[in-house]
Structure 1
Amino acid sequence: MSVTIETERLILRELQETDAQGMFDLDSDPAVHQFLGNKPVLTLEQSFADLAYIQQQYIENGIGRWAVIEKDSNQFVGWSGLKLIKETYNNHFNYYDLGYRFIKKFWGKGYATESAQASMKYGFDILKLNEIIGIAHTENIASIKVLEKLGLQKINIFDYHGRAHHWLKAEKP
C-alpha cells in the first residue's frame, strides 16, 4: 500500500530511489546532525543504503519515514513520519516514533510541525494507534517545541546512544 498525504504546503509520500540526492544533501550536513550523534553521511551510496533500509520498513512494518516535498517548488525538503521501533529504548519496544529531519535551508518554515501533525493524524486515524512517542536530545530546543506544540508531553529523560534525550508521548485523542 503506497501512502500519499497532502497538507497545505507539503506532499508526504514514501521515499524512493530518486530521493537519494535529496537524502544526501540532508544527511551530509553536519548542522543537521548536531543532535544526532554528529555522524553525517559521506557518500551518495550511504544515502541509497538508507533509502533501501526505509523501503524495507514499508514492507515489513507497513510504515516508515516519508519524503516531504514542498508543493510550490516540488523540491525534496526532508523526511517526516512514523517508524515502528522494535528495539528496546527507555524500557519500551514495539512503539511508534514520530520523527522529522529537514534540509537546513527549509528550517524555520513550520514544515516539521505541518508534516508531523499529518503523520500523527495518520497514526491515530488510519493505524488506530493508542500512543505516539517522540524522542529529542535535551538540547534540541526547536524539536522539543515542535513535539510539545503537537501535544506530546515530556515523560522522562533517558540515555539514548550515550546522550540525554527527552521521552515524549501523545495519547489517542
Structure 2
Amino acid sequence: MDNSAHLSTNEWATPRPAAVALGIGGVILLVAAVWAAGDPAGLVLMGAAGLLLLGFSGYALLIRPRLAVITAPDGRPAILVRTIGGAHTYPRDRIDRIRLLDFRRIGRRTGQLEFDFLQHDAPTTASADDALRDDTRLVVFSRWDLGADLGAVAEDLRRAGFVVDDQRA
C-alpha cells in the first residue's frame, strides 16, 4: 500500500529506555526499603520514593505518544496530545499559539514547547487587540516529555504546516 501522498505521522514520547530505568530504580528502592525495615523512617522514605518512580515509569510507558502530528478527517494536519485523561485532537483552527521558549533554571538553560489550545466553545477568531485569551488550555512539553530536541520538534511542526513562535534567547 502506497501512502506517499499522506502526511507522515510524527510522534514524540519519553524514551522507553529512560522509562524502564525509572522502573528498575523503583524496584531497587522498594527492595532497599524492605532490607532497611529496621529503620521505620528509611522504610517509609525509600518505599514512597520507589512507588513514585514506579508510577512515573508506568506513566512514561503507557501514555505514548505524548505529542503527535496526525492527519485529521478533513485531510489537514492536526495535533494529538495524549494525557492520563485520554487522547485529545486539536485541528489547526483550535490552536491559538505554539511557542518554543528557553529559560534559565538553576544555572542552566531549559526549554519548553507550549501549546495554547482553544476550548471547544471558544470562538476561533481573536479579538482586535493582541491580548492573551482566557479561553485557552495551556499544554507544556519539555525534552523529557517528548524525548527529542525541542528545536527539532518545532521544525517538524513547521514542516507539517503549523506556525511555531521561537522565543529562545
Of structures 1 and 2, the one scoring higher in RCO (CA 8 A, sep 6+) is 2
Assess same fold via TM > 0.5.
no
TM-score by length of 2: 0.27
TM-score by length of 1: 0.26
Structure with max Cα Rg: 2
